[in-house]
């Protein structure tokens, strides 16, 4: 099995989404159907999105793979940034479990 890269799924890293990168797809809205498919592939069985009092967004992913569970919690300046960082962290965990 080969995992698709975040870029192949339309996701970008924080560095790619920086304002100093004019070719950044950060102005392109996240394709939530693609994101949900990626979350399912990673074994995410639930997630939570909250806006904090400071105006940041907190994403919590609940992952299950081969009898193991992991919770990924990430805070970002936007919903997209928080979800992208959470998916990257979840991918790292997913790969480490193999």
Domain ranges of the chain: 44-98
Question: 79 burial class (0-12, 13-18, 19+ CB within 10 angstroms)?
Answer: middle
CATH domain 44-98 topology: Double Stranded RNA Binding Domain (3.30.160)
pLDDT at 98: 73
Average pLDDT per block of 10 residues along the chain, 98 residues long: 65 50 53 88 92 96 86 94 92 83
Residue 71 contacts residue 62 (beta carbons within 8 Å): yes
Q: How far apart are CA 30 and CA 84, in angstroms?
A: 9
Put simply, whether the predicted model's pTM sits higher than 0.75 gets the answer no
Q: How far apart are CA 85 and CA 30, in angstroms?
A: 13
């Amino acid at each position: 099995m080969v995992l698709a890269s975040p870029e192949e799924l339309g996701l970008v890293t924080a560095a790619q989404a920086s304002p100093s990168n004019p070719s950044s797809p950060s102005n392109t809205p996240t394709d939530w159907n693609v994101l949900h498919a990626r979350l399912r592939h990673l074994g995410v069985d639930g997630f939570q999105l909250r806006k904090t009092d400071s105006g940041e967004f907190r994403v919590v992913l609940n992952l299950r793979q081969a009898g193991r569970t992991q919770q990924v919690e990430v805070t970002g300046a936007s919903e997209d940034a928080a979800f992208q960082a959470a998916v990257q962290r979840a991918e790292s965990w997913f790969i480490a479990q193999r």
